[in-house]
C-alpha cells in the first residue's frame, strides 16, 4: 500500500474518539487530529470544558465534532457510553485510550483496592472501548487504536509502584490485541510519553519538593537534567506522534511501544 506525500497524514472522513480530552495530552491529541481533518469526539468528566474544547477544534472534513461526558472511574459507564455513541453515529476509526495516572508511592504500600481501581480505570476502560469500535474498524478496513501509556513500560519509574504495574499490563494487552486484529487493517500501538508539561507533572514536582525539602525549581531542574534534550516535552509533541500512528502513513506499524521522551529512557 502506498500513499502520496500530500495525503499520507490526512484524516479526512475519519472519526476519532479521544479519552480524557479536556487537559494535557488528551486535549493536544484532539486538537492535532482535528487539524488533520478528523471528526473528533472528545470525552471526559467536565461537560463545560468538553464543550469549550469542541468549539476550539478546526471544523472536520465531514460531519461535526461531538462531546461525551464519561468518568473512567466507572468502567461500565464508559462501556455503555461508547457503545451508544457508535450505535448513533457509526464507526469510530481512531481510538485514543488515555486516562489520568495513579498517584505515586512505593509498591510495598499499595493496597489491593488501589490495584483494582486503577486496573479498571486503565485496562478495563481501554478494553471496553476497543471492543466497541472494533466491528466498525473491521468493516471499514481501517482502524487505529493508540494507547497513551508511560515510559515505565520499558523502564519502571521509582516511586510509582501501582502505575508501573498497571502500565505494564496495558502494554501486554495492547501487544496481544495487535496480533489478533492486524489481518483486518487495524493497528494497535502505544505512545510512551516522558516527562511532559501537564498538570500531572506539576503535581509530581510539588510532591517531590515537599518530600525532599527542596524547592520546586530545584526538583524541576534536576528532572530536566536527566533528559538528554534538557527539557520537558510539550503535549503537542506527544500529539504529533499520535497523529502519525493514526494516519495512513503508519499502516504497517503495529504492536510497538514508542517512547516520546527526549531520549531519557536508557534501554532500547
Cα 175 from Cα 155, distance rounded (Å) = 17
For the chain, what percent of residues have pLDDT higher than 90? 92
> In the numeric block, which cell numbers belong to residue 161?
509502584
Task: For residue 259, list its beta bridge partners.
Answer: 192
Sequence-ordered alpha helix ranges (H) in 47-198: 47-56, 75-89, 112-119, 125-140, 161-181
Tens of pLDDT, residue by residue over 36-67, are 999 999 999 999 999 999 999 999 988 999 99
- Is residue 209 predicted with pLDDT exceeding 60? yes
Tell the residue number behind the cell numbers 521509582, with chain if given: 158
> In the numeric block, which cell numbers belong to residue 113?
483496592
**What pLDDT was estimated at residue 225?**
97
Task: Please tell me which residue, 110 or 104, carries the higher pLDDT value.
Answer: 110
Tell the residue number behind the cell numbers 521522551, with chain if given: 261
Averaged pLDDT, 100-122: 95
Averaged pLDDT, 102-106: 91
**What pLDDT was estimated at residue 251?**
97
Cα 68 from Cα 217, distance rounded (Å) = 37
Contacting residues for 138 by C-beta, under 8 A, at least 6 apart: 181, 184, 185, 186
Cα 68 from Cα 50, distance rounded (Å) = 8
Averaged pLDDT, 133-149: 98
**What pLDDT was estimated at residue 84?**
98
- Read off the DSSP letter of residue 119: H
Averaged pLDDT, 135-147: 98
Task: For residue 95, list its beta bridge partners.
Answer: 17, 145
> In the numeric block, which cell numbers belong to residue 59?
471544523
- pLDDT interval class at 217 (50, 70, 90): very high
Averaged pLDDT, 151-162: 94
Averaged pLDDT, 91-95: 98
> In the numeric block, which cell numbers belong to residue 92?
469510530
Cα 186 from Cα 170, distance rounded (Å) = 18
pTM of this structure: 0.95
- CB-neighbour burial class of residue 236 (10 A; exposed 0-12, middle 13-18, buried 19+): middle
Cα 102 from Cα 166, distance rounded (Å) = 9
- Is residue 164 predicted with pLDDT exceeding 70? yes
What are the structural domains, with CATH classification, of the chain?
15-194+235-260 (3.40.50.720), 198-232 (no CATH)
HEC letters along 191-251:
EEECCECCHHHHHHHHHHHHHHCCCHHHHHHHHHHCCCCCCCECHHHHHHHHHHHHCHHHC
Tens of pLDDT, residue by residue over 182-208, are 999 999 999 999 999 999 899 889 988
**What pLDDT was estimated at residue 5?**
59
- pLDDT interval class at 2 (50, 70, 90): low
Cα 26 from Cα 147, distance rounded (Å) = 11
Amino acid at each position: 500500500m502506498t500513499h502520496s506525500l500530500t495525503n499520507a497524514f490526512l484524516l479526512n472522513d475519519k472519526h476519532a474518539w479521544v479519552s480524557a480530552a479536556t487537559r494535557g495530552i488528551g486535549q493536544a491529541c484532539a486538537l492535532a487530529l482535528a487539524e488533520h481533518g478528523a471528526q473528533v469526539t472528545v470525552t471526559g468528566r467536565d461537560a463545560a470544558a468538553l464543550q469549550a474544547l469542541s468549539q476550539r477544534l478546526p471544523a472536520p472534513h465531514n460531519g461535526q465534532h461531538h462531546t461525551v461526558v464519561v468518568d473512567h472511574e466507572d468502567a461500565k459507564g464508559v462501556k455503555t457510553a461508547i457503545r451508544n455513541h457508535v450505535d448513533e453515529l457509526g464507526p469510530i476509526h481512531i481510538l485514543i485510550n488515555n486516562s489520568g495516572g495513579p498517584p505515586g508511592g512505593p509498591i510495598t504500600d499499595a493496597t489491593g483496592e488501589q490495584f483494582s481501581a486503577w486496573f479498571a480505570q486503565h485496562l478495563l476502560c481501554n478494553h471496553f472501548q476497543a471492543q466497541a469500535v472494533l466491528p466498525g474498524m473491521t468493516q471499514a478496513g481501517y482502524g487505529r487504536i493508540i494507547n497513551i501509556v508511560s515510559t515505565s513500560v520499558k523502564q519502571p519509574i521509582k516511586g510509582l509502584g501501582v502505575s508501573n504495574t498497571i502500565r505494564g499490563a496495558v502494554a501486554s494487552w495492547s501487544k496481544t490485541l495487535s496480533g489478533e486484529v492486524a489481518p483486518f487493517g487495524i493497528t494497535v500501538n502505544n505512545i510512551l510519553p516522558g516527562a511532559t508539561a501537564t498538570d500531572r507533572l506539576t503535581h509530581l514536582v510539588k510532591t517531590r519538593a515537599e518530600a525532599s525539602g527542596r524547592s520546586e525549581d530545584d526538583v524541576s531542574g534536576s528532572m530536566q537534567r536527566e533528559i538528554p534534550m534538557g527539557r520537558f516535552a510539550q503535549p503537542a509533541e506527544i500529539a504529533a506522534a499520535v497523529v502519525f500512528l493514526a494516519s495512513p502513513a503508519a499502516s504497517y506499524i503495529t504492536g510497538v511501544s514508542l517512547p516520546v521522551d527526549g531520549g531519557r529512557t536508557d534501554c532500547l
